[in-house]
Amino acid sequence: MKESLYSHISTVRTQAPLVQNITNYVVMNTTANALLAIGASPIMAHAHPEMVAMQKISNALVINIGTLDEYWVEAMLIAVTEANHNNKPWVLDPVGTGATPYRDEVLSRLIELKPAAIRGNASEIQALAKLNKTQTKGVDSTSASTEALEAAQILNKTYGAVVVISGKTDIIVDADQLIKLDNGNALMTKITGMGCTATAILAAFIAVVDNRTEAAVAATALVSICGELAAKVSTGPGSLQVNILDKLYSITKTQFEETLKISM
C-alpha cells in the first residue's frame, strides 16, 4: 500500500473530482480552499430544491453536522438518500457527537444510511459507536485510544464504513486491518476545522480511488504530512493555516514519501 499512496494524490489532481459539501459555517471557506489546493473541485449547497440535482453532478458528498439545524439536517437526509440511490460515496464527519441529545439523534438517523467513510476524533468515534445500541459493553472500561479503536471496529462491522480516528496518531480501520500514521504536529489542533478539512479531502479521494481503505490512508497521510511540513516554517496557528494550504498544493512525491510514517 505504501508505494501506491502518492499515486492516489496524483489521481485526485488529474481527475479533479467534484465534492459537494453540506458542512458547517465555520469551515466552509477553509474546506473549499483545501479541496481546491489538492486539485479537487468544491461545491457548497444545501437548498432542498436542488439537493437531488446536485447529487447528479457530484462525485462525492461530505456530511458535516458542526452547525446543524432542522433545515440543514433535512437537506443532509435528502442528499444522502439520493447519493446512495446513485451509488455515489458519502463521508460522515460527526462533529460534537455526544455533546447534545439532538446531535446524537441526528447522527442515529444519518449513520443508518451507511456512509462510505467516517472521520472523527477519538471521543467522537466512541460516542458514535454508542448510538443505536451497537455493542459497546466493555469498551467503557479500557483506555481512551483502545476504546476508540474498538468503537471504530464496531462502526465498521455495523455499517461497513472505513473509519478514520484523528489524533496524535491517526488510525484507519476497515474490516481486515488497521493502519497507523504518525505524522502531523500538535499545532494543528489550534486551527479550527483541521478535522473537517481532513474529512473533505477524504471524500475527494474516495470519489476517485476504488480501494476505500487506500483512499482513506492517502487522504489522512496527505493532511498530516502537509501539517507536519508546514509547521516547520510557521510561527503560530495563523501562519500554519496559510502554509498548510500552500503545501497541499505543492507537495511532491519525494516530500510525501520521505515524511510518511506508516505502520500496519
In this complex, which beta carbon is closest to a copy of itself, that of residue 124 or of residue 150? Answer: 124
**Burial (0-12, 13-18, 19+ Cβ within 10 Å), 76:** buried
Q: Find the angle CA(45)-CA(50)-CA(53) to the nearest 5 degrees.
A: 105
In this complex, which beta carbon is closest to a copy of itself, that of residue 67 or of residue 153? Answer: 67
Q: Any contact of residue 74 with a copy of itself (CB under 8 A)?
A: no
In this complex, which beta carbon is closest to a copy of itself, that of residue 116 or of residue 122? Answer: 122
32, 171, 218, 225: which one binds a copy of itself (CB under 8 A) = 32
Size of residue set near a copy of itself by CB under 8 A: 56
3-state secondary structure the chain: CHHHHHHHHHHHHHHCCEEEEECCCCCHHHHHHHHHHCCCEEEECCCHHHHHHHHHHCCEEEEECCCCCHHHHHHHHHHHHHHHHCCCCEEEECCCCCCCHHHHHHHHHHHCCCCCEEEEEHHHHHHHHHHHHCCCCCHHHCCHHHHHHHHHHHHHHHHCCEEEEECCCEEEECCCCEEEECCCCHHHHHCCCHHHHHHHHHHHHHHHCCCHHHHHHHHHHHHHHHHHHHHCCCCCHHHHHHHHHHHHHHCCHHHHHHHCCEEC
- Pick the piece of the chain touching a copy of itself (CB under 8 A) from 2-10, 129-137, 147-155, 230-238: 230-238
- Pick the piece of the chain touching a copy of itself (CB under 8 A) from 30-38, 120-128, 132-140, 141-149: 30-38
In this complex, which beta carbon is closest to a copy of itself, that of residue 49 or of residue 138? Answer: 49
163-222 residues near a copy of itself, rule: CB under 8 A? 189-193
- Pick the piece of the chain touching a copy of itself (CB under 8 A) from 26-34, 139-147, 159-167, 216-224: 26-34
Min dist CB 126 to a copy of itself, Å, is 17
Q: Any contact of residue 16 with a copy of itself (CB under 8 A)?
A: no
Map grid coordinates 447528479 to a residue: 56
Binding mask 112-131 for a copy of itself (x = CB under 8 A): --------------------
Q: Any contact of residue 243 with a copy of itself (CB under 8 A)?
A: yes
Q: Any contact of residue 108 with a copy of itself (CB under 8 A)?
A: no
Q: Any contact of residue 162 with a copy of itself (CB under 8 A)?
A: no
Partnered with residue 166 across adjacent β-strands are 121
Q: Any contact of residue 37 with a copy of itself (CB under 8 A)?
A: yes
Interaction site with a copy of itself (CB under 8 A):
24-30, 32-33, 36-37, 42-50, 53-54, 57, 66-71, 96, 99-103, 189-193, 234-239, 241-250
